[in-house]
Chain A
Amino acid sequence: MTSLASKLLANSAIRFGAGVLGLLIGVALLAPWLGTVDPAAMDAGHINTPSGTVGAFALLDGSSVAHTFWMGSDNFGRDIYSRVLYGTRVSLLVGLFTAVAALLVGGTLGMLAGYFRTLDAVLMRFMDGLMAIPAILLAIALVAALGAQLWTVVVAIAVPEIPRVTRLVRSLVLSLREEPFVEAARALATPTPVILWRHILPNAMAPLIVQGTFIAASAVLTEAILSFLGLGLPADIPTWGNIMAEGRVQFSQYPGNVLYPALFLVPTVLAVNLLGDGLRDVLDPKFAKRGAR
């Protein structure tokens, strides 16, 4: 195991991706202690101020507290810095949950389709149908139908990813079930669920993890798109997408509302993608030689 860890760390893409991602996770967890205020708090006296302005928030007891708008304020007088930092939480959660959900459902269906030939035809035709619908349209329809909450957004982004995961896992299982060690397990009278769990799943894990990182990266983006279109999380929960959506009307005068969330979104997606690339290079021996060395 230690040798795997050192192999992972020897890959520069993984080091960079994991480093940036670790930093972002730290920011998300520590958001309340990084000089932020309540992301929904408004300072009516300081609307659309440039970065560095000092303003003050009125508290409920009538007193007020001074605050520096490091990234300026938006058209409600809210602190963009605080909103972006709190938005990190939502974006990372959506990425993580979506990847886990898509892998769990797609992985299970893929294993069933790959191992039980009778199930295969039915399941895969259904998946083909699902794949024929453009992912973002399907997500929009699902959010519109289910209402906008964290879990509905996750479901809406995960569902279009499921057919892709199912296909990947199915093809892995199709080749693994012919492996002599799986046939030997059948000859040893190992029950089918145990074969799937013990012999097939662990050997399909590496490509699954890699696929998971790519899903996470695209989920972060899709969430931003949904929010931007007004179909994401409600405006009182700040996400990078809805911060940008609110800022877009006055983008030419006050670009900070769009630029600052984008400044976080781009490296996040890049880091997760790099992590995925690196993991594929290390975990999949076929790509090992073409790695970044």
Chain B
Amino acid sequence: MTADRSPVLSVRDLSVALPPGGDRAHAVHRISLAIHPGQTLCVVGESGSGKSVMATTVMGLLAKELQPSGGEIVLQGESLLGASPARLRALRGRTMGMVFQEPMTALNPVMTCGDQVDELLSTHTDWPAGQRRAEILRIFERVRLPDPERMLRSYPHQLSGGQRQRIVIAMAVVLKPALIICDEPTTALDVTTQKEILRLIADLQREQGSAVLFITHDMGVVAEIADEVLVMNQGEAVESGPCEQVLRRPRAEYTRQLLSAVPGMTPPAAKPEFTGPVLLSGQGVGKTYGSRDWMGRHRATAALQNAQVAVHAGETVGIVGESGSGKSTFARCLIRLIDPSEGQIHWGGQEVATLPESRLRPLRNQVQVVFQDPNRSLNPRRTVGQSMVEGAMNFGQSRAEAEALAAELMAQVRLPVEALQRYPSQFSGGQRQRLAIARALACRPQVLVADEAVSALDVSVQAQILNLLREIQGRLGLGLLFITHDLRVAAQLCDRVVVMHQGHIVEEGPTAQLYAHPQQDYTRRLLDAAPAALPPLQAV
């Protein structure tokens, strides 16, 4: 921690040029940083900020189209920018350990986990096979993988996401590197797993005295682990300094915005019970997927069992749960995108669970949906205008009426009317999500189902979309069913929250009450695992 010790990694005035014709000249522009042994530097920024390009430059894994155009990178006194590929290969694994976002793609799917770690060890050391094996078992134990002997023989697809990430971390730290580079290592994981992985990285760092360069978009994660913070935007350093200072007394306006966009865990004050009509409800909804094993015997997998929910006019109901909890299956049954195996579903007063598609179609305007991935929720081959009038025209409006409505909706989601002529690829992720909301509203629905509608967006954009949803709901008195894995987002928006786990509803209640006094163990664990609340901002 002392400043007189020389830094493990220092980056000075690093610039990486983008190929000509991009939206800016540099992916990374004059970035400087230094990390001392035993310290964690978090580089935080939204997508496109250049944080990942910076990390890959340090690793020497930059794509061919990108070239460092200035500055220097020094790792333990050795300059990396001029180093030969062979030298960089020798350094990676030995002196720099790397942990990537998606453990499935970071591991070779046709090699056992043991072999992959062994390959690394035999490349960098001259240990005999027995010693390598003992070392692998030791490190598997250390990263708290259950049953290390079995892990040795397992293929990546046989493990859970969290276990795979532990293998990747084991590979990163097994040679006790001086620097560990983590590029969004927990973004693809569930919150409860994220918590454990963050703790593991911190423990290993303390043990080995390594320096950690940690890339993330999540301010909550920063608050949890960072000693130093570097905030990046558009390839430039916005602000850097000790964690405490950056989070509580940010100097730059951009940091301030970023921090204020992070949703907190405090739910809104409880509203009175909603007594309006029930617009969307499900009772005893279940979905079973059937498959046959090699003997031809029928095997059923229940993705969803006995789930119920009711959404009143003007009410926002959240369904929260981790991946595999059945929350999306439930939502898709409720909008009849998949057929439920059992249970009743009501749209307004109409029971629709078993209606055939032809009888369902005239009712579909009542319930509309917004999906997670803004890049895929609009047909790339059709203009925004064409997508926008489709719903209204399906419900009997003339083209002129539908176009007038589309123009009006564009104003509601704060996009220019000219945008109707353009194709989805010409919009940013946040804008596309606005378009998807506008398209859903064009049918004049009574209930809007948002399936992870803000999960793929940057925090600042996420905050805007949440505000937009809140505003639209207030104006139109819609029922909103909001599916999310993020408890912080649910806290911001939802009047009532349903917690799901392994296909079952675990707990349900008004948001404030459920967050303050969770009744079930699982809910409590989920709440504990949510990234730390940010310290309050201090006035400048």
B-binding residues in A (CB < 8 A): 179-181, 183-192, 198-199, 202-203
Contacts and interface: CB of A to CB of B under 8 A. Distances in A.
Interface string B352-367: 0000010001101101
B376 A186 contact: no
B371 A184 contact: yes
B337 interface: yes
Contacts, number: 63
Contacts of B369: 183-184, 187
B367 A187 contact: yes
Nearest to A186: B337
B283 interface: no
B391 interface: yes
Name A's interface SS.
Answer: helix
A183 B367 CA distance: 13
A179 B376 contact: yes
A190 B442 CA distance: 13
A16 to B, nearest CB: 25
Contacts of B365: 189
B118 interface: no
B390 A188 contact: yes
Interface stretch (B47-55, B377-385, B483-491): B377-385
Given A184-B436, A189-B364, A202 B381 contact: yes
B335 interface: yes
B377 A189 contact: no
Contacts of B381: 202-203
Contacts of B391: 188-190
B439 interface: yes
A189 B395 CA distance: 8
Contact of A188 (B357, B364, B372, B376): B364
A198 B371 contact: no
A183 B357 CA distance: 13
A281 B348 CA distance: 50
Contacts of B377: 180-181, 184
B335 A203 contact: no
A186 B364 CA distance: 9
A189 B394 contact: yes
B443 interface: yes
Nearest to B445: A187
A183 B395 contact: no
A72 to B, nearest CB: 53
A191 B367 CA distance: 17
Contacts of A189: 361-362, 364-365, 391, 394-395, 443
B342 interface: no
Contact of B394 (A179, A190, A192, A199): A190
B511 interface: no
Contacts of A181: 376-380, 387
Given A185-B379, A189-B395, A190-B390, 14 more contacts: A180-B373, A181-B378, A181-B379, A183-B371, A184-B371, A184-B439, A187-B335, A187-B364, A187-B367, A187-B368, A188-B390, A189-B365, A199-B382, A203-B381
Contacts of B380: 181, 203
A186 B338 CA distance: 11
A198 B391 CA distance: 13
A188 B439 contact: yes
Contacts of B364: 187-189
Given A188-B390, A191-B361, A183 B443 contact: no
Contacts of A180: 371-373, 376-377
B368 A199 contact: no
Nearest to A192: B357
Interface in B48-93: none
Contacts of A184: 369, 371, 377-378, 436, 439-440
A187 B361 CA distance: 8
Nearest to B443: A188
Contacts of B440: 184, 187
A187 B449 CA distance: 11
Contacts of B367: 187
A184 to B, nearest CB: 6
Contacts of B371: 180, 183-184
10 contacts: A180-B372, A180-B377, A184-B369, A186-B337, A187-B337, A187-B440, A188-B443, A189-B364, A189-B443, A203-B380
A199 B362 contact: no
Contacts of A185: 379, 390
A183 B362 contact: no
